[in-house]
Structures are given as structure tokens and as C-alpha cells.
Amino acid sequence: MLAVEIPNQHKFIGFVGLHIPTKKMPFLPCVEVGWRLSRNHWGKGYATEGAKEALRFAFDSLNLDEVVSFTTKANSRSRAVMKKIGMHDSKQNFMHPDIEESHPQCEHVLYKISKNEWVQNAL
């Protein structure tokens, strides 16, 4: 996982990295790429740049076959990052086990990228 800092300011603005989910998700086992940035740093490319580097590490160093990412159905910003880094919507939406089923953010989308897809996109 990388901590994201603004150069010359030494201010923590969030993180980007790989994670192994342990909650009861319908697609386990897996490795997830994810990001959490403070709102005033959204839209500056930090999530995309960091996630690309995390995928490079996942496929080149860890030799993983696939990486996933997920977010609420309505989170268009994270979905856009997922597309920018070459991931595709798996069409395997699921209800997040930590969120009440009646909550509007319970339904999540699952994006995936295989090592082969990543290699093809990197060329």
C-alpha cells in the first residue's frame, strides 16, 4: 500500500494499494486494488496513477492472475478510475455484507482485470 503525499508539503492525502478482503464476499478468494483519498484531492489523477502502479506490482512482482476492485453502484468516480486502469465491469453486482440491505449504498459493482488483459493494455 502506498501513502499518497503532495510533494514538498508532506501532507497525507490518502492511500492506494492492494488488499486481501477477509469479509464474506461472493467472489473470494481475491486480491483487490483500492484507494481512499481526501475529497479535495479527487480528480487529480492520484488514484489512477497509484492504482496503475499497484497493478504493475500485482502482476509483475506478485505474479497474480487477476485483481478485482469494487465500489457502490453510484460511485461513478471510482468506476471511472477502474475503467482507466483497464478493468471491466464483471456484471456480478453484490450486496456488501457490512451495509444494511435497505441502505442505498449496499449494492456494489465488481470490476476485474486479468494479467493477460493488463499486459495487452500496457502495450
Give phi and psi for 81, each to the nearest 5.
-65, -45
Task: Dump pLDDT digits (tens) for 49-63.
Answer: 999 999 999 999 999
Say which CATH number the domain at 60 has. 3.40.630.30
- Total count of domains within the chain: 1
Distance CA 12, CA 51 (A): 17
Q: What is the pLDDT of residue 80?
A: 96
The domain containing residue 41 runs over which residues? 2-122
Query: Dihedrals φ, ψ of 60, to 5°?
Result: -80, -45
pLDDT at 3 over 70: no
Model pTM greater than 0.85? yes
Q: Where are the beta strands (DSSP E) in 1-119?
A: 2-5, 12-19, 32-37, 66-72, 88-89, 94-95, 107-114
Name which of 5-19, 30-44, 47-61, 106-120 the model is least confident about: 5-19
| Tens digit of each residue's pLDDT (9 = 90 or more) over 21-36 | 887 888 999 999 999 9
Conformational region of residue 86, where left means phi above 0, alpha means psi within -120 to 50, and beta covers everything else: left
**Which candidate, 92, 97, 85, places its Cα nearest to that of 109?**
92
